[in-house]
Amino acid sequence: MTDQSAQQVVSELGRRMLADGLTKGTGGNISVKTDDRNVAISPSGMAYDEIEPEDVPIVDVDGNQISGDRKPSSEFRMHTDILREREDVGAVVHNHSPYASAFASLNEPVEASHYLIAFAGDQIPVAPYETYGTAELAEVALETLGSEYNACLLENHGVLATGATVAEAFEVALMVEYCARIHYQARNIGEPKLLPDEEINTLLNRFADYGQDH
């Protein structure tokens, strides 16, 4: 993907993130890796419906701005650290979707009460609280994802979702919110029945090959 096509995607998906209820206002951010070094990332503090492709800055995987007049998202460290350290990740979506953020505020992982949890892993774990935009937040987010999770919650903050492509990362973000909502609603009715470990392992293996062959 070229820098220009990545800028276009970030601009479009910012609008979709807002339309799909994954965030409010200017909260959250999206990044797409364009090659081994460059990353297109949402600009800081701009309304999503005002972001045009030329507003999307380009940084390198060490967080240095390469091009663009706009400041990159204050969360650039979290994005670039993940994109630098996780070779399987090509895009990151950070959002403040309400049901998942509720579990983040409880410092409670979303457990496997629905099979679509496998988009993220065997659960959706919680990274401990750190102030937004800091190197410390980037560190705990990367540590919580490890090598096995595609998503995590950020305590008292929101959601972090990853994928090999930006389409996959966005789908993970949607599935995190869906699973969080189902888990919340099930707990308000009774005690959810959690999927056993062996079934989770089966699902993780199936989801690894999910979708169309290219």
Mean pLDDT of 159-182: 97
Q: Is 191 a catalytic residue?
A: no
Residue 214, pLDDT score: 42
Domains and CATH numbers, the chain: 3-208 (3.40.225.10)
**DSSP E strands, 2-133:** 29-33, 38-41, 58-60, 65-67, 91-95, 126-127
What does the pLDDT look like over 191-209, one tens digit per residue? 999 999 999 999 999 887 7
Name the DSSP class of 122.
S
Q: Active site residue: 12, 75, 111, 191, which one? A: 75
Mean pLDDT of 36-42: 92
- What is the torsional sign of CA 121, 169, 15, 214? negative
* Beta-bridge mates of residue 38: 60
Given a cut of 90, whether residue 210 has pLDDT beyond it is no
> Of all residues in the chain, what percent carry a pLDDT higher than 90?
92
What does the pLDDT look like over 118-137, one tens digit per residue? 999 999 999 999 999 999 99
Predicted confidence band of residue 211 (pLDDT cuts 50, 70, 90): low
Mean pLDDT over each residue of the chain, to the nearest integer: 95
What is the C-alpha separation between 214 and 203, in angstroms, rounded?
Answer: 21
Q: What are phi and psi of 126, to 5 degrees?
A: -115, 125
Mean pLDDT of 19-26: 92
End-to-end CA gap in the chain: 16
Given a cut of 90, whether residue 37 has pLDDT beyond it is no
Given a cut of 60, whether residue 138 has pLDDT beyond it is yes
The model's pTM:
0.95
